[in-house]
Amino acid sequence: MSLRGGGPIEELAVPSGTTVEEHDVVVDGDVLVGGQSTVELGVRGRNVAIGERVSVGDDIEAEGDCRLDTWCSVDGNVLVGEDAYLGERVTVTGRLMVSGDLDIGDDVTIEEGFEANGWIVIRNPVPTIVFYFIVLSQLLRVGETDAADELAEALADGDDVRDPLLIPRSAEIADDAWRVSTPATVGDDCRLHGNLRAASIRVGERNEVFGSLRAREDITVGAETVIHGDVTTRGGTVTVEAGARVLGDVSAGDLVVYDGAEIQGTLRARGEMKLVQRTGPETEADEVEEGGGAEAGGSDGVDSEEPDGVDSEESDGVDSEESDGVGDDDADPGDGTENETTESAREDDAPETDGESDAEGTAAVTADAGAATEAVESEDDS
């Protein structure tokens, strides 16, 4: 995330791989919480930055730095792997453990005491977001864009940049519900507990949400995602992609369901309801299978009619070649002797054509028919 943007947190962004474990939100990256929010769960991440007047209902564990703005309250312990920055009038009901330096403001209450391995400075520190903004704005003002980029990379711990957990201002995060007034985005491979309420919701792939989804606008459920609840929107569009499962009802203005999705409840749509079938290699495979079935049915028909077809083919070939031979060599094609001789020649050659191909059998019959014609002509001459 670029630190040059000075705008507020505009959405609830849950990064990929986020899980809720025993009342704690666990992420691999940073955690940024907007002001005046309520987080009843604990927070575990790399760097944790909490805005002003935020209430955290359980422990905070930060692998890197932890920054708590003014008037924050933490109902639990605060464990920090590096440096900690606490604004004025921060309250911690548990114990504060800091591996690095501690910068603490006025009127801070830590009920079970604190311990820091580095320097301890008691003063009123500048709020975190304000401090970042001041330093970067001064660098950009004097034209030191390279230095600003280096500072941003240093704050992001080098090249290992991970998507942070962004919680907007005035959000309510609890075990039973996640309520925000902004759009919400959930990454991939997440496991969340609680109902999700937002302006619009987009859930990625291979997630499992133990709760329902409700939004004023559009809702999208990604592939192979399981929703243990209802999916409801007032006037937006609900899109359920292939492989997704909704273990409840779906109600929307417009509904789009992809082939392969599973919805166990009732479908309600005020507007259009579309079923989108799969396209691409899978469809080609289905078409090939259907064509193969047709070919299989045709092959059965050919096998059942093969004896008749072979007889008709042989008889047609013999008749046409016999008539050609008679027309060239004999002036009277209606001679009965010739027909009897041809029939006797065909009966004599029938054992010889057993086990041979149709072409060979036809050629043999034709040759014998020609010999029989010559014999008839010699008799007539005599």
Pick 157 or 342 by higher pLDDT: 157
| Residue 205 confidence (pLDDT) | 95
- Digit-coded pLDDT (tens) for 167-209: 999 999 998 999 999 999 999 999 999 999 999 999 999 999 9
How many helices (H) does the chain have, and how many strands (E)? 5, 38
Mean pLDDT value across residues 4-21: 79
∠221-200-6 over CA atoms, to 5°? 120
Q: Which of 67-81, 82-96, 106-120, 345-359 has the lowest mean pLDDT?
A: 345-359
Cα–Cα distance measured from residue 272 to residue 277, given in angstroms and rounded to the nearest whole number = 16
Write out the H or E segment, with its range, that includes residue 31.
strand 31-33
| Residue 355 confidence (pLDDT) | 41
| Residue 291 confidence (pLDDT) | 30
| Residue 279 confidence (pLDDT) | 64
Helix (H, G, I), strand (E, B) or coil at 68: strand
pLDDT of 333 > 70? The answer is no
| Residue 189 confidence (pLDDT) | 95
Torsion of CA 321, 327, 328, 330, to 10 degrees: 120
Cα–Cα distance measured from residue 299 to residue 114, given in angstroms and rounded to the nearest whole number = 84
Helix (H, G, I), strand (E, B) or coil at 285: helix
| Residue 135 confidence (pLDDT) | 76
Identify which of 148-152, 283-287, 350-354 has the greatest average pLDDT.
148-152
| Residue 156 confidence (pLDDT) | 57
pLDDT of 293 > 80? The answer is no
pLDDT band for position 243 (cuts 50, 70, 90): very high
Beta-bridged to residue 80, according to DSSP, are 62, 98
Whether the CB-CB separation of 343 and 336 falls below 8 Å is answered with no
CB burial of 20-41 (b: ≥16 within 10 Å; e: otherwise) equals beeeebbbbbbbbbbbebbbbb
- Digit-coded pLDDT (tens) for 16-60: 999 998 789 999 999 999 999 999 999 999 999 999 999 999 999
Helix (H, G, I), strand (E, B) or coil at 296: helix
pLDDT band for position 131 (cuts 50, 70, 90): low
| Residue 49 confidence (pLDDT) | 93
| Residue 129 confidence (pLDDT) | 55
CA 44 from centre of chain: 27
| Residue 118 confidence (pLDDT) | 87
CA 138 from centre of chain: 43
Cβ burial, residue 306 (10 Å; 0-12/13-18/19+): exposed
Cα–Cα distances in angstroms (integers) from residue 159 to residues 1, 162, 347, in the given order: 12, 9, 91
Q: Name the region of 96 (left: φ>0; alpha: ψ -120 to 50; beta: rest).
A: beta
Whether the CB-CB separation of 238 and 255 falls below 8 Å is answered with yes
- pLDDT above 70 coverage of the chain, percent: 65
| Residue 41 confidence (pLDDT) | 93
Cα–Cα distance measured from residue 209 to residue 223, given in angstroms and rounded to the nearest whole number = 13
Long-range CB pairs of 104-111, under 8 A, 24+ apart, other chains included: 105/70
| Strand 42-45 with 177-179, pairing | unpaired
Best CA proximity match to 87, nearest among 137, 48, 122? 122
Whether the CB-CB separation of 246 and 225 falls below 8 Å is answered with no
Q: 3-class secondary structure for 306-354?
A: HHHHHHHHHHHHHHHHHHHHHHHHCCCCCCHHHHHHHHHHHHHHCCCCC
| Residue 296 confidence (pLDDT) | 30
| Residue 63 confidence (pLDDT) | 94
Mean pLDDT value across residues 145-149: 78
| Average model confidence (pLDDT) across the chain | 75
Q: Where are the beta strands (DSSP E) in 150-200?
A: 165-167, 172-173, 177-179, 184-186, 191-193, 195-198
| Residue 133 confidence (pLDDT) | 64
